[in-house]
Chain A
């Protein structure tokens, strides 16, 4: 393995940071899509040069971008600038950003409302793509988690998207409610050992699992407790912030919830709390070491009303025993007057022999630890607020 490519989505564009295996010196390109919000970018495991990006704007809506050369050049799938709207074969172009909920009786469900903040029912309205999860085996297949919460899939490299309507229509949808950041499907995890198994997480509905490739779904929230809910242990309504899995043990899941860090050893059927000695069990990110399935990372945040680290100290916490004991990692991170946040998709690990850990902040810093968290340096310090960080390990 020779190097890494870090894909950084920010409030004002995308940046790509590349380095060799030492991860000491970095090349920075960007901003790509300058001025647009980049909620997420992720590369294909099947073809690392294939990268998908979610580009959006409160003014101009959703755009899907795709690169086939590792981020050097980009295109909107199926509709290069200046192309005619229809191909000579009559294929409709300009649909790579068309996310339409499936309400057909045959393939979808005639479900048109979810719960609003005041408890009334509210129509489902597409707003943006929060997360893109490329297939592990086919570069043209990719899943998209969107707001208002739903799961979409493309089989043609992003030219067209279709909803996997069994999730939104499985029965609990009318009870889903937006979190403070909107009602978003933000986490998609594909099981590397079982292509039929998919996990997703939604704020504020909870976690869900499909065992048939996305046709049918069930909530997997037993053991979660959310004291802000009328029924704190209800099947639905938990504000899950992020879920992580080690590919060697796909039945073991780790969750950073609104409050509480949780663990499941049976594919989400039951959860137990592992917050232990953390200074705060509120936070957004959680990730797993590339080579040590019991080594976890979180970044504690003070509270749901104060989205910054406790005591103004930016500390990553690491557990080497699956969440029983936690240690603060501080070397190279600011230990005073630091009041940034680390958003849910803004942490990632590489797969080099010495696992690198990366996270981005709302203050525009992207930190890298090339030694599993022991030492940290800022790759960049002054980007726009970071929304997401993903890492590709290049050979």
Chain B
């Protein structure tokens, strides 16, 4: 089975950490779930481990949000939530966003 190429948009801080200038493309075998994309992202960029999902619990960090095709997927179960087909086809990106906080 050929891996699906998924585009991931990272917030500025994480792009700098990963030393990437724009979108990141990762390959996902099997169902394109939130978890599968994050696993592929961390496999390609291990220095992002712990920055999106907590090292200990594996859960999304509280001030990180996930979006795709104008949908907020942050609260969806990451292991089973399939990303929209446009994301799976590489037409739309999966967005990792730092939540707006402060004033």
Contact = CB atoms under 8 A, between A and B. Distances in A.
Contacts of B11: 59-60
A33 B61 CA distance: 20
Interface string B76-94: 0000000000000000000
Given A36-B13, A81-B19, A126-B56, A61 B46 contact: no
B54 A61 contact: yes
A160 to B, nearest CB: 12
B9 interface: no
A58 B63 contact: yes
Contact of A59 (B45, B50, B54, B99): B99
A149 to B, nearest CB: 17
Contact of B98 (A60, A97, A99): A60
A175 B12 CA distance: 40
Chain B interface bracket (under 10, 10 to 19, 20 to 34, 35 or more): 20 to 34
A58 B63 CA distance: 7
A98 B12 CA distance: 22
A85 B98 CA distance: 24
Nearest to B12: A35
Contact of A94 (B46, B64, B98): B46
Contacts, number: 82
A83 interface: yes
Given A82-B44, A84-B46, A94-B42, A59 B17 contact: no
Contacts of A79: 46-47, 49
Chain A interface bracket (under 10, 10 to 19, 20 to 34, 35 or more): 20 to 34
Most buried by A among B20, B45, B61: B45
B49 A60 contact: no
B47 A80 contact: yes
A59 B13 contact: yes
B63 A59 contact: yes
A81 B64 contact: no
B13 A82 contact: no
A81 B56 contact: no
Given A35-B12, A97-B51, 18 more contacts: A35-B16, A58-B63, A59-B13, A59-B64, A59-B98, A60-B17, A60-B64, A60-B98, A62-B50, A63-B17, A63-B51, A79-B49, A81-B47, A84-B43, A85-B49, A93-B46, A97-B49, A100-B56
7 contacts: A59-B63, A63-B17, A81-B18, A81-B19, A84-B44, A85-B42, A85-B46
